[in-house]
Amino acid sequence: MSSKNSRLRVAFLALVVALTGLAMAGPAAAATRPTAPAVSTSSPAREAPVLTDFVDLPTSSLPSDNRKHKVTLTYRNTSSADLTVAPQLLVESPDAGPVLSPSDVEVEHRTADGCWEEVRLGTQTGTLFTDLTTTQRTLSPGETLTEHYRVTVLNPSAQGTLHPRVALYS
């Protein structure tokens, strides 16, 4: 047997063993991620705030005239402690339908620098909603939260209710 054939057999055997090992390990091994080493910090870990309640603000009907309508959401922390809150705008479908779709309306939020940015809407059981996780903030005692939105109905047959509210966290 020549050394060239011998090397090819050894290389082939090594490849078969490697492939067999991967196949035996299966998807569980492929799905595992390497773990990062533990990092020591000097401050204790803060627990994420837990949603405890909502404060409903006055509702209004959904204007369907294809114009931009401003909606202002205002909430004041009247407690004596810091309070974690998150503003949210709901666009609710009529009880008798039809169910609204995110493509029926455009919601924009005014940023701190005065620009308008489009807000992606989630949808669940006929209600469109803005995300709570990205809007959380802490209000000091006596501080007021004011958020400005613009709502444009893109589907002239869309009907519903604008429902601003504030999520409260512990």
**Within-domain flag for 58:** yes
More confident residue, 156 or 2: 156
On whether the CB atoms of residues 100 and 153 are closer than 8 A, the answer is no
Shared-domain flag, residues 18 and 66: no
**Within-domain flag for 43:** no
Shared-domain flag, residues 77 and 160: yes
Shared-domain flag, residues 15 and 60: no
In whole angstroms, how far apart are CA 119 and each of 6, 18, 21, 71, 141?
65, 49, 48, 14, 29
> pTM above the 0.85 mark?
no
**Within-domain flag for 21:** yes
Strand partners, 124: 127
What tens digit of pLDDT does each residue of 28-80 get?
A: 222 223 334 444 455 556 678 899 999 999 999 998 888 999 999 999 999 99
Shared-domain flag, residues 133 and 86: yes
Shared-domain flag, residues 124 and 153: yes
**Within-domain flag for 98:** yes
**Within-domain flag for 40:** no
User: By mean pLDDT, which of 2-16, 107-121, 122-136, 140-154 is the weakest?
Assistant: 2-16
**Within-domain flag for 41:** no
Q: How many CA atoms are closer than 13 Å to the CA of 169, on its beta-carbon side?
A: 17
Shared-domain flag, residues 28 and 112: no
Whether residue 147 has pLDDT greater than 50: yes
**Within-domain flag for 88:** yes
Where in the sequence is the domain holding 24, given as residue range(s)? Answer: 1-34
- Structural domains of the chain, count: 2
Q: How many CA atoms are closer than 13 Å to the CA of 59, on its beta-carbon side?
A: 12
In whole angstroms, how far apart are CA 117 and each of 62, 110, 112, 156?
20, 6, 11, 22
**Within-domain flag for 105:** yes
We report the CATH number of the domain holding residue 61 as 2.60.120
Shared-domain flag, residues 65 and 143: yes
Shared-domain flag, residues 107 and 156: yes
